Amino acid sequence: MWPNKFEYARAGSVDEALAMISDDGKFLAGGHSLLPVMKLRLDAPAHLVDINRIESLSGISANGDLTIGATTTHAEIAGSAAVQSMCAALASACGQVGDQAVRNFGTIGGNIAHADPASDPPTVLVACGATVNIQGAAGARSVGAEDFFVDLFETALDDGELITSVSLPNCSDCQCAYVKFPHPASRYAIVGVAVCLKMDGDTCTQADVAVGGATVKAVKCAGAEAALAGSALDDAALEAAAAAVKADIADWLAGDIAYPESYRQQMAGVFLKRAVRAAS
């Protein structure tokens, strides 16, 4: 499998990358989604602008909130003490992406720009109320993760816009977890559930829940959140939340011949309970 012919150029700064990108061009980060798509001839960009050497796009800073540069790899995020402490669910999700080679090359910016419904990080970003920071020719803007993921492989990015970083609130006082049912070959999520729970003693005072994999995009689950909030996370609350989550995702279900929509919807309830037990 060979891609169409394309021009390659490496950008040294965000401004340079934005000046280099054209209507028929694409940014190149880890290449772990873009190159397969090009080899399958599902896309044929004429120009690739490599953003891997732009220093300002890489790294993790923990000043109050957590900010993760777009070209930071899954392996770096999974191994970061700051991420483990401030958003354990994100460290866990990135540690469950594909295999070690994929985690060493794949970046968080490329992952969310591609918006594969079976990806892991988007589910945590939606649950935890992350913000996606974007730079374009018209200037900078920030979009909440819930609004960033629009539909199947569709985001709020406009043509030529570059994700510069994602920001997350400090969740170190929350109990959060990400659990997934991985595809046996690719490890992509057939179902992935992220929960972020605020506790007062044995009582859950606030629950944030999102589901991915089973859905065309990561979906925030208000019904499941309401079922968990105010409860002691006992079996009755978990059963109510599992029932509610299936209704929450009903309009967004995804499926295939091996794992149809109805199966994934059922599994979302099962994995929600596992996520809550893992977090609490």
Ligand X SMILES: Cc1cc2nc3c(=O)[nH]c(=O)nc-3n(C[C@H](O)[C@H](O)[C@H](O)COP(=O)(O)OP(=O)(O)OC[C@H]3O[C@@H](n4cnc5c(N)ncnc54)[C@H](O)[C@@H]3O)c2cc1C
Which residues contact ligand X (rule: CB under 6 A)?
26-34, 51, 70, 74, 97-98, 102, 105-107, 109-111, 113-114, 119-121, 162-163, 186-188
Between 163 and 191, CB nearer to ligand X: 163
Report how far residue 45's alpha carbon sits from residue 41's, in angstroms, rounded to the nearest whole number.
10
- Written as six digits, the tokens of 91 are 């460290």
Between 95 and 169, CB nearer to ligand X: 95
Closest distance of CB 201 from ligand X, Å: 35
Between 76 and 225, CB nearer to ligand X: 76
Between 70 and 88, CB nearer to ligand X: 70
Closest distance of CB 223 from ligand X, Å: 25
Report how far residue 182's alpha carbon sits from residue 188's, in angstroms, rounded to the nearest whole number.
5
Q: Are 49 and 25 in contact (CB under 8 A)?
A: yes
Closest distance of CB 105 from ligand X, Å: 6
Closest distance of CB 163 from ligand X, Å: 4
Q: Are 86 and 172 in contact (CB under 8 A)?
A: yes
> Could you tell me how far CA 16 lies from the centroid of its own chain?
27
Which residues, in sequence order, are CB contacts of 229 under 8 Å at separation 6+? 204, 205, 206, 207
* Residue type (1 letter), 151: D
Question: Residue with CB nearest ligand X?
Answer: 110
Q: Which helix (H) or strand (E) holds 32?
A: none
Between 24 and 202, CB nearer to ligand X: 24
Closest distance of CB 173 from ligand X, Å: 27
Burial of 279: CB neighbours in 10 Å, binned 0-12, 13-18, 19+: buried
Q: Where are the beta strands (DSSP E) in 107-247?
A: 131-136, 139-144, 149-151, 154-155, 162-168, 175-182, 189-200, 203-212, 219-220
- Written as six digits, the tokens of 35 are 């190159």
Between 121 and 269, CB nearer to ligand X: 121
Closest distance of CB 21 from ligand X, Å: 9
Between 182 and 269, CB nearer to ligand X: 182
Closest distance of CB 116 from ligand X, Å: 6
